[in-house]
Structure 1
Amino acid sequence: MKQAFIYDAIRTPRGKAKSDGGLTDLTPFELLKALYDALEQRTHLDKNQVEDVVLGCVTQVGEQGGNIAKASLLFAGWPDEVPGLTVNRYCSSGIDAINIAAMKVMTGQAQCTIAGGIEMMSRVPMLSDKATLFSDSVQALRHRMLMMGSGADLIASLFGMSRQQVDGVAFNSQQRAAHARDQGWFTSIIPVFNPVKGIMVSADECIREETSMDELAALEPYFADIGALGVDALQRQEHPQLESINHVHTAGNSPAMADAASLI
């Protein structure tokens, strides 16, 4: 089996998925074009040699629908012959896109591939694809396909994780991200210009180094209400050793909603 080598890895800053976020005025096509252009300039890439582009994207609807891997290539002015594939494995979509692109090289199906991911949560909100698996409560309960936050609370309950421990992980994560930023370690970031706001976005907007353990502790558990509607009962039915579900996840110790894209 052949080896696959990574020649470059770039990403946009992670913009806040809010109306005042630095990237929200750009379309997903425009965000990806900034990366396609940068990748070509940085690597002196011959676009005609690219045999596949594989992107991960969870909410493939509206501006992110219609196979955004291929559609964004056309928008960016790439040759019509360059194919594109969009994959969805929820939060690991980008990782699996990279795996697929690497496997194509390793198995001899291709010599040059690009992989990455795109998600603009401010413009294409989570669950806006109205998938039956989530929008139909009967189907969701039947297949035990519940929200990730409920699953996180279940895991915390099974492994005896306390609220303080979970908040501690979140606090340390914010501090480490701020340290990495301040040390200049995020060299893969490609600054993106927002012509609507007239700003150059060059740094992650979702790092909150000012947060404290006290502030995190003051936040209410986010998934307790969903649990009270029947999710807790279903989880306890599947795991009878649990007397209750310990709801430890909040808006402060959960992943931030962001606008961002990446390419390898």
Structure 2
Amino acid sequence: MSKQIQDAYIVAAVRTPVAKRKGMFRNVRPDDLLAHVLREVVAKAPALDPALIGDVIVGCAMPEAEQGMNVARIGVLLSGLPNCVPGVTINRFCSSGLQAVSDAANQIRLGQADVMIAAGIESMTVMNNMMGNKVTVSPAVFANDENRGIAYGMGLTAEKVAAQWQISRAAQDTFAVESHRRACAAIAAGRFQAEITPYEIVERLPGGQDGTVRERRRLATDDEGARTDVTLESLGSLRPVFHAGGSVTAGNASQMSDGAAAVLLVSERMLKQFNLIPLARFCSFAVAGVPPEIMGIGPVAAIPRALQQAGIHQQDLDWIELNEAFAAQALAVLKEIPLDPAKVNPQGGAIALGHPLGATGAIRTATLVHGLQRTSGRYGMVSMCIGTGMGAAGVFERM
């Protein structure tokens, strides 16, 4: 007997502040960051029995080294959740966190679970480089021209997008300045407070000649990357970093970052049984492939699919979190899909706030659902491009 598809609801969504690579979280292990958000998201629903959690699905783009060994299960154990709660790590590069939200929601929609946690974790500090701790590329990648796009660095794909969609350096720098302006304004106004769960950083340092150890504690409360002093003049002085004659710089690209987020989802039955108040309803999720050498355009292929599945039109969207991997790719997406710029990243994006790869989708989901609550918007979307040529988009409805 087939079961009717049921709705999945987000009842809590939290994230850490996002740190610069080798910044305030440089001595913090990623599994500890993950454990922190898992504890905090469950604490947001104290009436709910944690033993009912069907699974913890965690997105991570580089699941190796300190964030290897199935970091999802390690995070569950470190968080103090019951041993009966399992965990699985998934990887779809930059959309891993959003994929986790979709996979968790679908477990509920199909009636296979009533309570799920979706999360994302990424410490770019612990990675030796953007291709992981051990770089291996198949010889087949270089065997013919069709495959070579797979080996392109992300910056080179942004240069190709900038050239194909005629995105100027000035337009990219202007976009970057606005990202910082919006992010700084949001931080100053406390608009991220509802989603951020502060993290206490504990560092042990040499205490003096007697060999004692000194303990230093700091509370991380705000995102580290946003800057008030970013101007067109300061960005204009930066050199291209991926192509000698290019336009993509460190100033108009996303920041390498560390961070984590967790989202608690339940069925309607759990809402009623534990008297939970939903923040949002999961509506749809879609992924699509594009040529790897222009991977930044991926959202153009994914967004229409997600909107169609949700049964809405793009003009119905009140809030859009479009990950700013590069200003060039974000502007190209906006050229292809005429989204309202005022609704896109109203609190800044990854250029200012950072992009901790596999965690970003879950982080931006937290930003979206809390933003919709604060502004009384109805529909929102999270979307991003994905390395090797993909795009992803998820649609949510405020409750």
Q: Which of the five TM-score ranges fits, normalised by the shorter chain?
A: 0.7 to 0.9
Instruction: Read off the aligned partner of 1:192 and give its amino acid letter.
Output: Y
8 Å CA contact 1:22–1:199 kept in 2: the answer is no
**Alpha-carbon separation, structure 1, partners of 2:73 and 2:39:** 15
1:189 to 167, 189, 196: 196
**Alpha-carbon separation, structure 2, partners of 1:17 and 1:222:** 18
| Superposition map of 1:39-50 within 5 A | 39-44=41-46, 45-50=48-53
**Alpha-carbon separation, structure 2, partners of 1:133 and 1:170:** 32
CA shift digits 1:115-151 (9 cap, x unpaired): 1200011123432243534899737963421122111
**Alpha-carbon separation, structure 2, partners of 1:5 and 1:169:** 34
Q: Indicate the residue corresponding to 1:230 in structure 2.
A: none
> For 2:35, what is the secondary structure of its paired residue?
helix
> For 1:95, what is the secondary structure of its paired residue?
helix
2:219 to 200, 222, 225: 200
Work out the percentage of aligned pairs sharing the same amino acid: 33
CA shift digits 1:53-109 (9 cap, x unpaired): 111101111111111111211122222221112111111111111111111111112
> For 1:189, what is the secondary structure of its paired residue?
coil
Deviation for aligned residue 1:49: 0.7
CA shift digits 1:147-188 (9 cap, x unpaired): 221111111111110000011111111111111111111020
**Alpha-carbon separation, structure 1, partners of 2:156 and 2:121:** 25
**Alpha-carbon separation, structure 2, partners of 1:256 and 1:165:** 18
Instruction: Read off the aligned partner of 1:51 and give its amino acid letter.
Output: G
8 Å CA contact 2:73–2:87 kept in 1: the answer is yes
**Alpha-carbon separation, structure 2, partners of 1:163 and 1:216:** 10
Structure whose residues are more often strand by fraction: 2
8 Å CA contact 1:133–1:139 kept in 2: the answer is no
2:12 to 4, 8, 11: 8
Instruction: Read off the aligned partner of 2:237 and give its amino acid letter.
Output: A
Q: Indicate the residue corresponding to 1:241 in structure 2.
A: none
**Alpha-carbon separation, structure 1, partners of 2:217 and 2:66:** 22
**Alpha-carbon separation, structure 1, partners of 2:140 and 2:31:** 31
1:169 to 167, 171, 175: 175
Q: Indicate the residue corresponding to 1:253 in structure 2.
A: 252
Instruction: Read off the aligned partner of 1:53 and give its amino acid letter.
Output: V
Instruction: Read off the aligned partner of 1:40 and give its amino acid letter.
Output: V
8 Å CA contact 1:132–1:139 kept in 2: the answer is no
Instruction: Read off the aligned partner of 1:33 and give its amino acid letter.
Output: A
**Alpha-carbon separation, structure 1, partners of 2:88 and 2:11:** 20
Q: Which runs of 5+ in 1 are unaligned?
A: 226-245
Q: Normalising to structure 1: TM-score of the pair?
A: 0.86
Instruction: Say if 1:135 and 1:148 are closer, same or farther in 2 by CA, change over 3 A.
Output: farther
Q: Aligned-residue CA RMSD in angstroms?
A: 2.0
8 Å CA contact 1:133–1:140 kept in 2: the answer is no
> Which structure's relative contact order is higher, taking Cα pairs within 8 Å and 6+ residues apart?
1
Please tell me whether residue 62 in structure 1 is matched to residue 65 in structure 2: yes
What is the number of residues matched between the two proteins? Answer: 242
8 Å CA contact 2:39–2:80 kept in 1: the answer is no
Q: Which runs of 5+ in 2 are unaligned?
A: 204-215, 264-399
| Superposition map of 1:89-128 within 5 A | 89-125=92-128, 126-128=130-132
